[in-house]
Amino acid sequence: MDLKRKKGIVVVVATRRQGVLAALEGVKGVRIRRREALSTGGVYDALPGAHLVVVDLEALVESPDMSRKRLEGVLARAEVVVVDGGTFAADPGAWLDRARAASGLAEALPPRSVAFTGLAGGVGKTTLALSLARHFHACTGLPAAVVELSAGPSGLAALVGDGPLPHLYEVVTQGREWPRWEGVTLAPMDWATARLLEEEQVRGVWERLREDHILVLFDAPAHHPLWPVARGLVDEVFVVSDGRPDALASAVYLAVEDGHRILLNRGGLAARLGLELKPAASLPDVGRAAGRFPERLGKRLMPVVYPGWRR
């Protein structure tokens, strides 16, 4: 069966936990195709094509040819999101978001706003934002935007290399349209004029970007005067660091201070420095690739922003 044509998410329900069925019935905007199972064999038979399995193994009836231990191993190896009934009932929205991402149904992806931040400059925030936005739009066809918080002239405009671009002040005060780059909406900033705007004006135009796009990425230095405005509009913040000791030290400080996750743009760096870090993703060196926005960066970042993404 063509699940993309049917536009449905397949959920295997193998729990008696209260609230699970009600949460599934309350989902809006995407069809939920539910398969219920009470035995280990029933769960196994229901797995093909499933995107989410809500299961309490200890409550299942053991089938002669499928023990609980064997089913547990099957679920661990299967390309499907698995969660117990209690965890699902506590936050059904988060697990349904993972199921949407794992389904490969672009039209089912939930809106996300994410900030790439840091205290050090030149660590790859803009490159990562542009790479991810371009990859997201290419894969899904859905609208994506990159919002810049600049401390001077627009680095975003300089990096895409298309000459002067309409920026925040011009959009707010002159009615200019946001520029586009490879299908992605760009929201550049020139601080010399942006600082003349009221925070409410800035917040309003950024909120409209969120309403009009599924994925919005903020390229946002943590020391920027408008960072508190951007921080209030994002779902998650990632602190970006490269291999410089000063950049990594400031990233660790910022992550610990504010409870953010760290993105390292060079694999194995934490291990070499002996730091007990658990980065959200291990990315290749983006410094030498700046300006080319290699496809591999977007591919690595998609499952970070949309957990469970496998496309």
282 and 136, same domain (yes or no): yes
Contacts of 35 (CB under 8 A, 6+ apart): 10, 11, 12, 13, 46, 50
Burial 206-242 (b: 16+ CB within 10 A, else e): beebbeebbbbbbbbbbebebbebbeebbeebbbbbb
CB-CB contact of 310 with 104 (8 Å):
yes
Query: Which domain range does residue 261 map to?
Result: 111-305
Burial class for 86, CB neighbours closer than 10 Å (0-12, 13-18, 19+): middle
Domain presence at residue 174: yes
Question: Based on the domain organization, do 89 and 192 belong to the same domain?
Answer: no
Average pLDDT score over the chain: 81
- DSSP 3-state assignment of 232? coil
Clarify whether residues 300 and 198 are in a common domain.
yes
- 311: in domain: no
Mean pLDDT of 171-198: 94
Q: What's the confidence (pLDDT) of residue 23?
A: 85
* CB under 8 A, 24+ apart: contacts of 76-80: 78/47, 78/53, 79/310, 80/47, 80/50, 80/51, 80/52, 80/53
CB 125 within 8 A of CB 116: yes
Mean pLDDT (whole number) for 199-219 = 93
Whether 97 and 115 share a structural domain: no
Residue 132 covered by a domain: yes
pLDDT at 110: 78
**How many domains in the chain?**
2
pLDDT tens for residues 70-116?
A: 899 889 877 788 999 999 988 887 788 778 776 665 555 778 899 99
For residues 100 and 166, state if they share a domain. no
Residues 97 and 117 in one domain: no
Question: Does 72 share its domain with 162?
Answer: no
Q: Are residues 82 and 116 in the same domain?
A: no
Is 310 within the bounds of a domain?
Answer: no
8 Å CB contact between 144 and 135? no
Q: Using 50, 70 and 90 to split pLDDT, how confident is the model at 279? A: very low
- Looking at residue 174, its pLDDT comes to 95
- Let me know if residue 134 belongs to a domain: yes
Q: Which of 107, 124, 157 marks a domain boundary? A: 107
Q: 128 versus 282: which is more confidently predicted?
A: 128
For residue 271, is it within any domain?
yes
CA distance 179 to 230: 20
Per-residue pLDDT at 285: 44
DSSP string for residues in 6-22: HTEEEEEEE---TTHHH
| Residue-level pLDDT at 289 | 45
Over residues 116-175, the pLDDT tens digits come to: 988 767 777 888 899 899 998 888 778 899 999 999 998 888 888 767 889 999 999 999
Q: Give SS3 for 216.
A: strand
* Domain of residue 101, CATH code: 3.40.50
Q: Do 268 and 167 share a domain, yes or no?
A: yes
- Residue 160 domain flag: yes
Domain boundary among 68, 86, 107: 107
Instruction: Please determine, for residue 269, whether its predicted confidence score (pLDDT) is greater than 60.
Output: no
Asked whether residue 235 is assigned to any structural domain, the reply reads yes
Range of lowest pLDDT (13-17, 57-61, 156-160): 156-160
Residues 10 and 56 in one domain: yes
DSSP class of residue 107 equals: G
Residues 234 and 127 in one domain: yes
Q: Are 139 and 91 in a shared domain? A: no
* Residue pLDDT, tens place only, 238-251: 888 776 677 677 77
* Domain boundary residue, one of 107, 141, 171: 107
What is the rounded CA–CA span in Å between residue 92 and residue 88? 5
CATH of the domain at 143: 3.40.50.300
pLDDT at 270 > cutoff 60? no
